Amino acid sequence: MNDPGMDGEMEETEKINVVPLADLTLVLLIILMVISPMISQSLIRVSTPQVKTGAGAAGPEAKKEEGPLRVDIRENGFLLNGEPFEFVESMLEDLKQRLLTNPERSVLVSADERVVVRQVVQVLDGAKLAGAKSLSLLGLKKKEQEKIK
């Protein structure tokens, strides 16, 4: 609206132009619609573990060798089912040999909190390349963390 001023001149009131805002909103909406299917395709598929109980479960007479393989990543080296390794390559080679005997065995990976993330990723990638069909990350309980320190 125009209001007469002190001098008798008409002043214009400022109006906000919402057209650029609407244009920007539509462009961002289109970008979101194009990118969202790509994001859902690149996600890692995670399946929940299945537990066997009752008659189908393995009894105490089952061999320890047939259980899951546990990889512990420490600051000073690696452990594969309690067996120490200084280098990741030698540990992964032994892991590969054990997976050749039974490729259905799962691999459980746990890491010390002082370990670099790069080492964990290297072990996970190496285990997958060695033929592991099931990989799991283990978290340590507070008591176990205190024992490590």
Write out the two tokens for 67. 């259980």
CA angle 69, 75, 78 (to 5 degrees): 25
CA angle 114, 116, 117 (to 5 degrees): 120
pTM greater than the 0.85 cutoff? no
Q: Bigger pLDDT: 140 or 80?
A: 80
- Average pLDDT of the chain? 79
CA dist 77 and 120 (Å) reads 12
pLDDT at position 141:
63
CA distances from 23 to 18, 29, 33, 36 (A): 9, 10, 15, 20
- Domains and their CATH numbers in the chain: 68-148 (3.30.420.270)
Q: What is the pLDDT of residues 7-58, one digit of tens each?
A: 566 777 888 899 999 999 999 999 999 988 877 666 666 666 666 665 545 5
pLDDT at position 24:
96
Instruction: Collapse the DSSP code of 129 into the 3-class scheme (helix H, G, I; strand E, B; otherwise coil) and give the result.
Output: helix
pLDDT at position 22:
95
pLDDT at position 8:
61
pLDDT surpasses 80 at 126: yes
Range list of β-strands (E), 62-106: 69-74, 77-80, 83-85
Cβ count within 10 A of residue 123:
23
Q: What is the pLDDT of residues 85-96, one digit of tens each?
A: 888 899 999 988
Write out the two tokens for 73. 């990543």
pLDDT at position 54:
57
Write out the two tokens for 30. 């289109």
